Amino acid sequence: MAKIMIIRHAEKPLDGGIERAVSLDGFHAKHELTVRGWQRAAALVGFFAPVHPMPEGHPIAPPQTIFASAANIASPSLRAQRTIEPLALKLGVTVVTDHAEFEETELAAAALAAASPALIVWHHHAIPALARRITASAIDIPPIWPDDRFDLVWVLDRAEPGGAWKFVQVAQQLFAQDRDEFA
């Protein structure tokens, strides 16, 4: 079975907003998460690795492989890595940061070759194209990831190698303001 779960990095300052990005030690740092983002990163541990096993057939599963975008000169954001560090630590999984934003084709190939289930933490504007690359555009995938959503999981699933892909969205619902709809 192949299962690839994709999330956007946790909260960052929104254009025109008053929140600031901060480093883990609380200092302003442009390419980091907001306080809410750090809270989401911590809450994702219980979401992806709950104390009690998830019921059979649940779309979310503890990942065996975790990918996060690498920071580089073209895209210096550390948000994807910071979002997933607490979960990776809990699971004892090394985060693969071999690919940076704009290297979605290479990432798709790596995810397809990785141990399943895999989790990818990426930049929202590139997630639809990444999902289409993974599934070879064989299924309908939303054309955009909404700018204001940090609380979704896109799950790509197939029962057997070479089989048909299924797509489902899951609402994280980790905080009171997280939404349960997908529009």
User: 163: how many CB neighbours lie within 10 A of its CB?
Assistant: 11
Nearby residues of 143 by Cβ (< 8 Å), 6 or more positions away: 128
The three-state secondary structure class of 80 is: helix
Q: What residues form DSSP beta bridges with 7?
A: 121
Claim: this prediction has a pTM higher than 0.75: yes
d(CA 141, CA 57): 21
Q: pLDDT 10s per residue in the chain (183 long)?
A: 699 999 999 999 876 667 888 888 888 888 899 999 999 999 999 999 999 988 888 999 999 999 999 999 988 899 999 999 999 999 999 999 999 999 999 999 999 999 999 999 999 999 999 999 999 988 999 999 999 899 999 999 998 888 899 999 999 999 999 998 876
Look at residues 28, 6, 3 and name the one whose alpha carbon lies nearest to residue 150: 6
User: 56: how many CB neighbours lie within 10 A of its CB?
Assistant: 5
The three-state secondary structure class of 88 is: helix
What count of residues does the chain have? 183
Are the CB atoms for 37 and 9 separated by under 8 Å? Answer: yes
Domains and CATH numbers, the chain: 2-171 (3.40.50.1240)
Nearby residues of 148 by Cβ (< 8 Å), 6 or more positions away: 14
d(CA 36, CA 68): 19
